[in-house]
Structure 1
Amino acid sequence: MAHRVVPPGGHADTPLLSTAVPQVFVEGLPEEEDGDIGPRAAERVLELAGAADAVLLGPGIMRPDAATALLEEVVPHLDTAVLIDALGMACLTGRLDGVRPGDTRAGAVVGLLARGASPEQAAVWGAFLHGRAGERLTAAASVPRTQARP
């Protein structure tokens, strides 16, 4: 079972996700004054992570200071496979320039980790699956493909 933890008000996609993927358990967490998830959520995140095969941290956290504070409270206490998304890593390293969200790819990678893939296998297959999903979406939406130019 997957757990998705969000602020008590939830994100706009929470009802859609809960319906489309019923095996995902959605739980509200204590939020900061601005509605972001912060360090007050650490205790509950650690409780949920205790039974997990893999943990993904970062998606949905909007403020770098909130991400940093939460990650500093949680990561040192985890005893399982941990994946921190690009924004979360940028917050921890202080390098925020050019960070682009990758929640979909991160979700694929952590799912593969939870199923027993090595971190290397999970990263490669997660990138492949993410790219393949983009190709299928492009084909289904009849959107012209674009290609990055050097």
Structure 2
Amino acid sequence: MASVSDVAEPEVPSPEQGGPVDDSQQVSPDLLRAWPLPQPNGTKYARGLVLVVGGSATTPGAAMLAGISALRVGAGRLTLAVAGSVAPHVAVAVPESGVIPLPETDAGCVAGGGAGELLARELERGDAVLVGPGLSDPEGSLQLLTEIAPLIPRETPVVLDAFGLTVLPDADDDTRAALAGHLVATPNSGELARILGEDEVDDVAAAVVEAARRFDAVVGVDSFVASGDRVWELPVGDTGLGTSGSGDVVAGAVLGLLGRGAGREQALVWGKYLHAAAGDALSLRFGRVGYLAGELPAELPLVLRSLRGD
């Protein structure tokens, strides 16, 4: 297991319980430099074993983007668990990764039905787990989450994204209890509304705080990250980040930092900042729009180096 940084987190004002968020810690390069990441020393095992579970037959790229992003921020060893029909192709496309084929429906959607048994060893020894990128069916995603949640050790942080997260309110009490206290959530604003049972979210900051409390999680949406009553506000990046696959890069970056030993709050704050800064760097080369999510991961280690996060 990668070691967790013993550097104290910055003090953050606490909003009133249940009320609006009036105070938040503004995230800047200076704040991040004063909150250094664990140093990526040693072998690939010392830098963290990370697992991405997702990648249905029609959307394997989401899991691949997340996994590559995890490696780009310093994770040591990557395993991708994807639909069985595309697993050989993913293994060729991402030679840096081990690949586990998962059960799938006739439509190519990843489902449960034995996934827990296939993933048990990786879940037991992993330093961080991400569930969601590329999952394409809510029923199968819920079955998958129900199978694997009890197998994840309490000390292992779990990132839920996309369908891996939006099915959480429909999960049984045992599944939700198995994830509480070591959960990180990376929804977009629509997914945030879904997990809170709302049609839409008017006050994102207050809704992020509510989701963090309700699911005993660290939650990041748009420019806000919340953990209990602690709130951070980040630069959100320019409009070019609103592109297909961009959210998978965020989730993967957070996963990789967790694998390195960062705490949940630190990993999400740093991960979202790196994503925004990577987009800024690409906008200087391509313009405000037009760059691809697949071009973001290569920028992540450059931003890390500028912040002395390597």
TM-score w.r.t. the length of structure 2 is 0.41
| Amino acid of the structure 1 residue aligned with 2:137 | R
2:99 partner SS: strand
Tell me which stretches of 4 or more aligned residues in structure 1 moved more than 4 Å: none
From 270, 277, 291, give the equivalent of 1:125.
Answer: 270
From 132, 153, 156, give the equivalent of 1:58.
Answer: 132
From 5, 9, 14, give the equivalent of 2:90.
Answer: 14
For residues 87 and 133 of structure 1, what CA distance do their matches in structure 2 show? Answer: 25
2:190 partner SS: coil
Q: Which has the higher contact order (CA 8 A, sep 6+)?
A: 2
| Amino acid of the structure 2 residue aligned with 1:45 | L
Question: In the TM superposition, what are the counterparts of 1:58-137 in structure 2 within 5 Å?
Answer: 58-79=132-153, 80-94=156-170, 98-99=190-191, 102-137=247-282
In terms of fraction of residues, the more helix-rich structure is 1
Alpha carbons of 1:143 and 1:52: their partners in 2 closer, same or farther (altered >3 Å)? same
Shift of 1:76: 1.9
Structure 1 unaligned blocks of 5 or more: 146-150
Query: For each residue in 1:71-128, what CA deviation from the matched residue of structure 2 results, as whole angstroms up to 9, or x when unmatched?
Result: 011112210221111432211125xx82397221111111111100000000100101
For residues 285 and 93 of structure 2, what CA distance do their matches in structure 1 show? Answer: 20
Q: 1:3 maps to what in 2?
A: 79
| Amino acid of the structure 2 residue aligned with 1:43 | E
Shift of 1:141: 2.0
| Amino acid of the structure 1 residue aligned with 2:260 | R
Q: 1:23 maps to what in 2?
A: 96
For residues 144 and 44 of structure 1, what CA distance do their matches in structure 2 show? Answer: 40
Percent identical residues: 37
For residues 48 and 109 of structure 1, what CA distance do their matches in structure 2 show? Answer: 18
| Amino acid of the structure 1 residue aligned with 2:165 | M
TM-score w.r.t. the length of structure 1 is 0.80
1:9 partner SS: coil
Shift of 1:130: 1.2
Query: For each residue in 1:43-88, what CA deviation from the matched residue of structure 2 results, as whole angstroms up to 9, or x when unmatched?
Result: 2122222221111111111111111111011112210221111432
1:5 partner SS: strand
| Amino acid of the structure 2 residue aligned with 1:135 | D
1:50 partner SS: helix
Give the aligned CA root-mean-square deviation in angstroms.
2.6
Alpha carbons of 1:17 and 1:134: their partners in 2 closer, same or farther (altered >3 Å)? farther
2:134 partner SS: coil
For residues 282 and 93 of structure 2, what CA distance do their matches in structure 1 show? Answer: 18
Computing the radius of gyration from Cα coordinates, the structure with the larger value is 2
Q: 2:121 maps to what in 1?
A: 47
